Amino acid sequence: GAGVSQSPSNKVTEKGKDVELRCDPISGHTALYWYRQRLGQGLEFLIYFQGNSAPDKSGLPSDRFSAERTGESVSTLTIQRTQQEDSAVYLCASSLVGGGQSYTFGSGTRLTVV
Amino acid sequence: DQQVKQNSPSLSVQEGRISILNCDYTNSMFDYFLWYKKYPAEGPTFLISISSIKDKNEDGRFTVFLNKSAKHLSLHIVPSQPGDSAVYFCAAGAGNNRKLIWGLGTSLAVNP
């Protein structure tokens, strides 16, 4: 597609439930990133996929968070047993390989845990 | 430890005047820097970048200045317009490491 697509755009879930967020990157972009932004905060790195390399999971806040990517296409971010502090906008971005290349972000998924 | 710092959480400017957003970094390995703009309920969008081999890059009303010795960069918007009101993020990267390091953002309000 023309841009990075994320779904759903909004998700309200009960505490303790699992949620799955989806990201469709720009075709041909081998790098894919997940970030989250809590209210009033900056961008918090979660995970980074680059081609077939092992993902950089250094930003995942707990083992309740996991992400997968199928080849160089769709990625899903799964949050198990959601907590209220997981409420945030989850942003996905993709980019071409190479230093200096800018990211293209999706519009995000606003997750609210009640 | 914040490697990329945007020390001003907010800035208010009059329409037509210059907006100057600042960013400081600590890692001397960073060799490219980017500015992103974010409107509410949207993802950040790329605005302008600069490589460490340059000290200035200009694109229309937007100019980014880089002072490597001071580990400081700034984004100048002139003239500022109400539509520029957004949160501006500074980000830095090194070599082919694609994981950018982000500042916390500066919220710019341009008043008519």
Contacts 24+ apart (CB under 8 A), B37-40: B37/B84, B37/B86, B37/B87, B37/B88, B37/B89, B38/B86, B38/B87, B38/B88, B38/B89, B38/B105, B39/B86
* DSSP-assigned states of every residue in chain A: --S-EEE-SEEEE-TT--EEEEEE--TT--EEEEEEE-TT---EEEEEEETTSPPB-TT--STTEEEEE-TTS-EEEEE-S--GGG-EEEEEEEE-SSTTPPPEE---EEEEE-
pLDDT of residue B4: 94
**Are the C-beta atoms of A112 and A87 separated by less than 8 Å?**
yes
Beta bridge partners of B5: B24
Distance from C-alpha of A24 to C-alpha of B50, rounded to nearest angstrom: 28
* Each residue's pLDDT tens digit, A67-84: 999 888 899 999 999 999
* Over residues B27-41, mean pLDDT: 92
Distance from C-alpha of A49 to C-alpha of B1, rounded to nearest angstrom: 24
pLDDT of residue A8: 97
Amino acid (1-letter code) at residue A15: K
In A, minimum Cα distance to B6 occurs at A42
φ, ψ of residue A49 to 5 degrees: the values are -110, 135
Interface test with B, best of A103, A107, A109, A112 (most B CBs within 10 A): A103
Question: Is 70 exceeded by the pLDDT of residue B6?
Answer: yes
**Are the C-beta atoms of B29 and B94 separated by less than 8 Å?**
yes
Distance from C-alpha of B34 to C-alpha of A101, rounded to nearest angstrom: 9
Mean pLDDT of chain A: 91
In terms of Cα–Cα distance, which of B62, B60, B58, B56 is closest to B21? Answer: B62
In chain B, residues with a C-beta closer than 8 Å to the C-beta of A30 are none
pLDDT of residue B21: 98
Residue B84 carries which DSSP code? G
Question: Is 80 exceeded by the pLDDT of residue A100?
Answer: no
Question: Is 70 exceeded by the pLDDT of residue B48?
Answer: yes
In chain A, residues with a C-beta closer than 8 Å to the C-beta of B42 are 107-108
In chain A, residues with a C-beta closer than 8 Å to the C-beta of B95 are 99
* Over residues B31-40, mean pLDDT: 93
Instruction: Give residues with Cβ within 8 angstroms of B68, minimum separation 6.
Output: B52, B55
* Over residues B26-33, mean pLDDT: 92
* Each residue's pLDDT tens digit, A9-46: 999 999 999 999 999 999 988 899 999 999 878 888 89
